[in-house]
Amino acid sequence: LDADKEGFLRSDRSLIQTIGRAARNLKGRAVLYADKVTGSMERAMAETARRREKQLAHNAEHGITPVGVTKSVKDIMEGARRMPTRGRAKGNKVAEQALAFSADIARLSPAALARKLQQMEAQMQEHARNLEFEQAAALRDQLAEARQLAFIS
Q: Which of 21-30, 100-109, 116-125, 138-147 has the highest mean pLDDT?
A: 116-125
User: What does pLDDT average to over the chain?
Assistant: 80
How far apart CA 118 and CA 79 sit, in angstroms, is 27
pLDDT given for residue 102 in this prediction: 66
**Within 13 Å and on the Cβ side, how many CA atoms surround 46?**
8
E strand or H helix that includes residue 122: helix 110-129
- 20 three-state secondary structure: helix
pLDDT grade for 115, boundaries at 50, 70 and 90: confident
Q: What is the mean pLDDT of residues 143-147?
A: 84
pLDDT in tens, 11-67: 889 999 999 998 888 788 888 888 888 899 999 999 999 999 999 999 999 999 988
The amino acid at residue 18 is T
Alpha carbon separation from 128 to 80, 91, 98, 101, 135 (Å, rounded): 18, 25, 22, 22, 8
